[in-house]
Amino acid sequence: MQVTVCGGGNAAHTAVGLLASRDDLIVNVYLSYEHEARKWLEGNRVSNGIQVLQPDGYALGKPCQISSNPGEVLPGSKLVLLTVPAFAHEDVLREIAPHLDMGAWVGALPARSCFELCVQDVLKEKLGSITIFGLQTLPWACRIQHYGQQVLLLGTKSQVDLAVEPQEQATALANCLSDLLGLMVNPVASFLSLTLAGTGQLVHPGIMYGLFHGWDGAPYAQAPLFYQGVDAESASVLQSMSNEVQMIRAALEQQFSDLDLSAVRPLDEWLRRSYPQDIEDSSTLQSCLNTNRSYTELRAPMRALDGGLEPDFQARYLSEDVPYSLVGTLGIAELADIPVAVIKQVVQWAQERLGKEYLVDGEMCGRDLVHTRAPQRYGIRSIDPLVLGIQRTLR
Ligand code: NAI
């Protein structure tokens, strides 16, 4: 099978190194930027492939073709993986669209909110001839060591949720991805479920808000601990955000009797399920975050400020997780007419830190809505298309 990995960052290095190390795959790399393609080609000449460093050794995978010309690396690919941040999905989809084969599986790792609406917007009628999918999270924590040559795999999740349209392809795709990624890939009922179940959209903006909403501008001597720094007040914000997502779930399940949102779990339940071995004290949401060994010593994103450090509000915890995740969920709440005061409060605070405008007087009509995954940005004015799924809406 031929696979094309789109992207040139940490996730792309890991995907390419691991997949290309298998004899049964031809792996190509598509890079939107020519300078990145050149660096990959140079790196590959030195190292003869991408080396993925793991605790018990390494995998080495040599991609077949590397190019910033999509026509050279996409045709013939059954599986196309977008391993770029959500703000790049639209650009990359536009670039690759003319070169996708009929029947290709095209998906994002991770999808973030409402990925299906972005694909529908870009691919339009072509959508009918492909299968789209999204993974809820990136399966790996990874960092490039040497560009185009080596990446450090810090951790691999044991399972990850998958949304697929059309649904008939879900089992085949889940089996294929489980095999290729070497972990359990669980199909969930819909992209709507995947969107609402995203926990990064709660945890990252929620903790940033908790840590910094009262910040007085004075430099920090060192970066605050991120998860271990969650106090009772921050935990209560996270709990409220999680409760609001559960309210959306309950209201939609009541309104649509066939709708399965069982994968949309309360945050504390998700943490206990995801980290059964790592959490020392699982009695409360706060203790699940404070005592999770996987989160030990992880610190808030900061940047240098005269005489110390200041919070980095442009880091992905806000710049990706707010517009491309949390604002999507807020848009769904608005369509379903569910009041989500705390999520709104966090989005309002974040947009001021980001210098963006998504909400105006609490309404989703800000000038920067066009750079979000809110359903409203795609002209959606009712919850039905999200519940039905885009492929069925198209038919
Ligand atoms: P990265 O910053 O290492 O790489 C980003 C890649 O996207 C680069 O090749 C860049 O050129 C490309 N890109 C950026 N804007 C673009 C545009 N407009 N058009 C085309 N290409 C563009 O990012 P990384 O670490 O690989 O992350 C990918 C995704 O995985 C992100 O959503 C991130 O939040 C998520 N993630 C990453 C984790 C990690 O350990 N690296 C862990 C969990 C999630």
Q: What is the pLDDT of residue 319?
A: 97
Kindly tell me the burial class for residue 85, based on how many C-beta atoms sit within 10 Å of its own C-beta (0-12, 13-18, 19 or more). middle
CB-CB contact of 26 with 5 (8 Å) = no
Hey, whose CA ends up nearest to atom 31 of ligand 1? 85
3-7, 57-61, 122-126, 181-185: segment of lowest average pLDDT: 122-126
pLDDT class of 280 with cuts at 50, 70, 90? very high
Question: Which atom of ligand 1 is the closest one to the Cα of 320?
Answer: 34
Does the pLDDT of residue 393 top 80, yes or no?
A: no
Structure confidence by residue, pLDDT tens digits, 130-145: 999 999 999 998 999 9
Separation between Cα atoms, residue 393 and residue 390, nearest integer Å: 5
Structure confidence by residue, pLDDT tens digits, 59-83: 999 999 999 999 999 999 999 999 9
pTM: 0.94
Q: What is the pLDDT of residue 24?
A: 96
Hey, whose CA ends up nearest to atom 15 of ligand 1? 88
User: What string of DSSP letters covers 136-168?
Assistant: SS-SEEEEEEETTTEEEEEEE-SEEEEEEESGG
Structure confidence by residue, pLDDT tens digits, 306-316: 889 999 999 99
> Which residues are catalytically annotated?
204
Separation between Cα atoms, residue 293 and residue 155, nearest integer Å: 12
Does the pLDDT of residue 237 top 80, yes or no?
A: yes
User: Ligand 1 centroid vs 85 CA: distance in angstroms?
Assistant: 4
Separation between Cα atoms, residue 16 and residue 8, nearest integer Å: 10
Hey, whose CA ends up nearest to atom 19 of ligand 1? 88
Angstrom CA distances, 342 to 242, 263, 361, stand at 10, 22, 15
Hey, whose CA ends up nearest to atom 3 of ligand 1? 9
Structure confidence by residue, pLDDT tens digits, 151-207: 999 888 888 999 999 999 999 999 999 999 999 999 999 999 999 999 999 999 999
Question: Which atom of ligand 1 is the closest one to the Cα of 10?
Answer: 26
Q: What is the pLDDT of residue 306?
A: 82
CB-CB contact of 209 with 235 (8 Å) = no
CB-CB contact of 156 with 183 (8 Å) = yes
What's the distance, CA 372 to chain centroid? 13
Taking each continuous run of H as one helix and of E as one strand, the counts in the chain are 16, 14
**Could you identify the residue written with the tokens 């095209």?**
106
Hey, whose CA ends up nearest to atom 32 of ligand 1? 85
| 257-286 average pLDDT score | 93
159-168, 211-220, 294-303, 383-392: segment of lowest average pLDDT: 383-392
Hey, whose CA ends up nearest to atom 44 of ligand 1? 138
Give, as one character, the DSSP assignment of residue 68.
S
Q: How does 172-194 read in b/e, with b if 16+ C-beta sit within 10 Å?
A: ebbebbbebbebebebbbbbbbb
Q: What is the share, in percent, of the chain residues with pLDDT greater than 70?
A: 98
User: Ligand 1 centroid vs 392 CA: distance in angstroms?
Assistant: 31
Question: Which atom of ligand 1 is the closest one to the Cα of 33?
Answer: 11
Which residue out of 138, 152, 324 has the highest number of ligand 1 atoms within 8 Å of its CB and is therefore the one to mutate? 138
User: Ligand 1 centroid vs 236 CA: distance in angstroms?
Assistant: 31
CB-CB contact of 207 with 226 (8 Å) = yes
Q: What is the pLDDT of residue 395?
A: 47
> What sign has the CA pseudo-torsion 286, 290, 291, 292?
positive
| 195-222 average pLDDT score | 96
Q: What is the pLDDT of residue 157?
A: 84
Separation between Cα atoms, residue 2 and residue 24, nearest integer Å: 9
**Could you identify the residue written with the tokens 């972990």?**
183
Q: What is the pLDDT of residue 105?
A: 97
User: Ligand 1 centroid vs 362 CA: distance in angstroms?
Assistant: 30
Pocket of ligand 1 (CB under 6 A): 7-12, 32-33, 36, 83-86, 88, 91-92, 110, 138, 141-142, 316, 320
Does the pLDDT of residue 346 top 80, yes or no?
A: yes
Does the pLDDT of residue 392 top 60, yes or no?
A: no
pLDDT class of 41 with cuts at 50, 70, 90? very high
Separation between Cα atoms, residue 243 and residue 266, nearest integer Å: 7
Q: Report which of 286, 301, 294 is spatially closest to residue 229, judged by C-alpha positions.
A: 286
User: Ligand 1 centroid vs 44 CA: distance in angstroms?
Assistant: 20
Q: What is the pLDDT of residue 253?
A: 95
User: Ligand 1 centroid vs 294 CA: distance in angstroms?
Assistant: 21
Q: What are phi and psi of 266, to 5 degrees?
A: -55, 150
Q: Describe the crossing of helices 341-354 and 200-212 by its angle, rounded to 10 degrees.
A: 70
